[in-house]
Structure 1
Amino acid sequence: MIVWVNGTFGAGKTSTARELQALIPGSTVFDPESVGAYLRWILPPGELVGLTDFQDLTAWRRLVPDTAAALLAQLPGTLIVPMTLLRQDYRDEVFGALAARRVPVHHLLLHAEETILRKRIEGDDQEARAARQWRLDHLDAYRRARGWLERDCVTVDTAEATPRQVAERIVEIVRSGAALCPIVQDPVSGRDTLAAAVLFFDEQDRVLLVDPVYKPGWEFPGGVVEDGEAPTAAAVREVSEELGLRLDPSRLRLLVTDWEPHRGPRSGGMRLVFDGGLLTDDQRARLVLPDAELRAWRFVSEAESASLLPDSKRDRLAAALRARAAGAPLYLEAGAKAG
């Protein structure tokens, strides 16, 4: 398992991790900053222009869960990860990849009031002035992230406690299971897949999107078609599991068939998009999301979806809306009309 010790600079992650290692037999400390340092060394200079945080590198967000899983295979036990993680979409990407590898994650947040954090950062003689200012500047990002962090983590206040006391408290929390992330263990397929999505609309013709906890960005309701399963049956099953809605498969209307190239661990294969029709007020009131899979739902306009969906799904949605208006399905390849 992983004990992920989150918190902004000055919260005491590094010193707490050392104490945790002494308290948890057979544990190993893995600092993902080493992955960032390696990428800075190996990537061509052009890839690093304007980079202020290695977490913004796609390679970092993929290598961290891969490295953690490899370390656990080599050194079975507990992996202690002291790492600031303030962007929720990055948390989803990293933790989702770990869940796909069946690695449980206990997520702890070390917290102290900002005045204490500033005092700790400014009083660290080992920090160069530039690094110290960079850490102070990140206090704003921590303040903005507190809302989702407190919902996702168990918070441990470090203001009046020694690192040893904080570590002892974390051990208690981990043993209780209170900090274990409830996240769907969605296995990542190495082959192309067939997936079915369903679009639902409100009275303003806005489309419903859902926010998965196991990957970044928003998504259409739906999922992968299982072996031997009809695509419409998969669509009905996924909508029932994700939203608590019971659909009549005969009322689903195909809007788009899109061949998606294999660009990453969760892409590649045929993507079907169905029209699920209008969701009534009564249906919206009865929507129930599985905590381990989805965080939220919302209706958005096509323009609003542009900042929520990746390019491939944005193109697919635009095509689906055109097909819905025209009353005829479209065939796409990589989000564009073929032929």
Structure 2
Amino acid sequence: MTHLPDLTDGTVTLRPDDDQADGSAAFAVEVDGAAVGRVAVATDGALTWELDERSRGRGYATRAVRMLVDWALTERAQNGLGLDRVEARVDAEQSAALRVATRSGLRREGVTRLPEEAEEVVLARLATDPPLSEPGAFRALLNSFLPRKRAIAQMLVRDGQDRVLLCRLTYKQDWDLPGGVVEVGESPQVAVAREVEEELGLTIDAGRLLLTDWLPPWSGWDDALCLVFDGGEHDASITGSIVRQESEIRDAVFCTLDEARERCTDFTARRIESALATLAAGAGAPAYTESGRG
């Protein structure tokens, strides 16, 4: 390791510890000439920091870690570390440490599950990431840790006898409307038409949005938003054209509302009823329900 420099932002100063036999870069954190903690980056890019309890909550840790990260990545050709990525692993329950990592410019990448231990959040920054002063960098940072909610798009396809098309799925016993999970960056309206074509071999354009239904956590699933689009009215004979994706679909048939109540979970049946009610009401705003309840 080459000789480490002093680093400062005018408020916090990092004083090097040149005695790191393992090649890591470690610094004492000083404020007004007094040591208040320590930060370090290992040869594999792992970041660690610790502040005296009396000095916490004042932004010193964020300043120290941000300086260390900037130095490790922007001067990698000179500092002897040669890092193009630095990483912090933070206990998921340590909200203060997570704020320090995020405010220091580290993007959240995922969660490591550990047996009989708390989960660890993995946050990292690359040498190629734009400076935090750029608006795009700040948006990307926010996007890495803001909540993300699953979206499901379904289609209400009817025949001329007041029946709706339902699918019996391979991975659960109850029946459901055709559709599926919206992929990242995909329009829900495009997604539902894609799912219907992939799983049933039917080309049906998705019409207007009939219903937004919030689904609370259930049976191992996180919560989600289910968007039900109008698939129009079709002759019942279209079921003869169905080509099932056998890994996901056991069967697909038109069902009456009573049959839907028998075959579907209660919240799915309520969702179908709500979507049909919106359709019967004519043009207007889509309905909003939670677990099928308005």
- TM-score of the two chains, using structure 1 as the length reference: 0.41
Q: Which structure has the highest helix share of the two?
A: 1
Q: Which structure has the highest strand share of the two?
A: 2
Max Rg structure: 2
Which protein, 1 or 2, shows the higher relative CO under an 8 Å CA cutoff with sep ≥ 6? Answer: 1
